[in-house]
Amino acid sequence: GLNFVFGHATIRDRFAVISIARFGSDGPEKLLERSAKTAIHELGHTFGLYHDDANLDCVMHFSEKLEDTDRKGQAFCTRCNAVAASTLSRLGT
């Protein structure tokens, strides 16, 4: 089970936070990459996205451990991108 989180967001209230406390000491490049992926992932939740269990490369794939974050991509897959674009369009941005 989980004993920590990398970030948290709500779809309803549209807020997101991340923590870099558990990102390890693998150097500044890894810290920046993990931070970016986590921030994009959590913002995705505020855009109405859920975890993408089907696409291992999608940034919305759930990360239980650092290896999961390192393995996934930094961008939304086509489906998640369409949902996010629809949400942003509805919000008038």
Architecture of domain 7-90: 3-Layer(aba) Sandwich (3.40)
Q: Is 29 a catalytic residue?
A: no
Set 33, 42, 64, 67: catalytic member? 42
Residue 84's pLDDT is what? 93
pLDDT in tens, 10-50: 888 889 999 999 898 899 999 999 999 999 999 999 999 99
Which of 46, 36, 35, 39 has the alpha carbon at shortest distance from 80?
46
Mean pLDDT of all residues in 58-83: 95
According to DSSP, the β-strands at 15-18 and 7-10 are antiparallel
- The three-class DSSP label of residue 17 is strand
**Residue ranges of the domains in the chain?**
7-90
Q: Could you tell me if 77 and 60 are in contact, meaning their C-beta atoms sit under 8 angstroms apart?
A: yes
- The three-class DSSP label of residue 10 is strand
The chain-wide mean pLDDT, for the chain, equals 91
